[in-house]
Amino acid sequence: MFTVGTSKLKNRTEKVNSKQEIEIPLQRRDCLVNLEGRKSATMKGIIGKKLGMTSIYGPDGRQIAVTIIEAGPNVVTQVKTEATDGYNSLQLAFGEKKEKNTPKANLQHFAKANTTPKQVVKEFRNYFEEKALGETITTDIFSEGEVVDVVGITKGKGFQGVVKRHGFSGVGEATHGQHDRGRAPGSIGASSTPSRVLKGMRMAGHMGTERVKMKGLKIVKIFAEKNYILVSGSVPGHIGSIVFIQK
């Protein structure tokens, strides 16, 4: 047994496993991590497709820029439990896919859920409510005014230079012997010391196509009959790209 902290308050003992115990002050007991049965917060989410941006007027007459997302319907294609898989999660599928372009293993997987082949499959851990295999999830799980996070893949920009990629301002000015140096990266390191390019040096290279999560977006409007969710602000990705709405 060993003690964490030096508080003079009355300590209590928490059993972490069969081999050791930790004695922790009452004021620090919220920091204790139970290694045997740690519980995570529940999550709700849905797979959608970005349709574009527009603007609507709020109740106060202010114009709000929104992104239109076609959210669902999603089909539950697999249910994982702690007893069989070691954790709880739901596997959701979205978007239609041609049967001839679907591997046979995936065809059997979707057949178990009694659904057609799908384009995108995403797993959500610790889903906020229990669902059975083959059930459908729609925009009903969200409500207007709710704050969510949206995950998407940014637009690909290809190979870009340092001015566009990192915001460099170029080398020097146009006079004093400068020739076609306006967008050059400049020096990338010293010569004899350290005789190498340091890691993390900002240089030209591939830009975009990164996974980005936009946090704290408000659901402004829901059109349940069309499966549309309008969230405030912009969402990463091009029109038609797949996004994940989660909370």
- By DSSP bridging, strand 2-3 and strand 63-71 are unpaired
By the 8 A CB rule, do 243 and 48 touch? yes
Q: What digits encode the pLDDT tens for the residues 34-54?
A: 444 555 678 899 999 999 999
Whole-angstrom CA distances from 74 to 97, 103, 244 are 14, 20, 11
CB atoms within 10 A of CB 176: 6
CA–CA dist 94, 82 (Å, integer): 25
CA–CA dist 95, 115 (Å, integer): 11
- DSSP string over 207-247: E---EEEEEEEEEEEEETTTTEEEEES--SS-TT-EEEEE-
**pLDDT for residue 6 is more than 60:** no
Q: Quickly tell me which residue has 């959500």 as its tokens.
A: 124
Least confident of 24-38, 94-108, 152-166: 24-38
Q: What is the set of domains in the chain, with CATH numbers?
A: 40-72+139-158+203-247 (2.40.30.10), 73-137 (3.30.160.810)
State both tokens at 72: 């669902």
Q: What SS3 class is residue 30?
A: helix
By the 8 A CB rule, do 118 and 96 touch? yes
pLDDT at 170: 75
- What pTM was estimated for this model as a whole? 0.76
**pLDDT for residue 140 is more than 60:** yes
- The arithmetic mean of pLDDT across residues 108-127, rounded, is 92
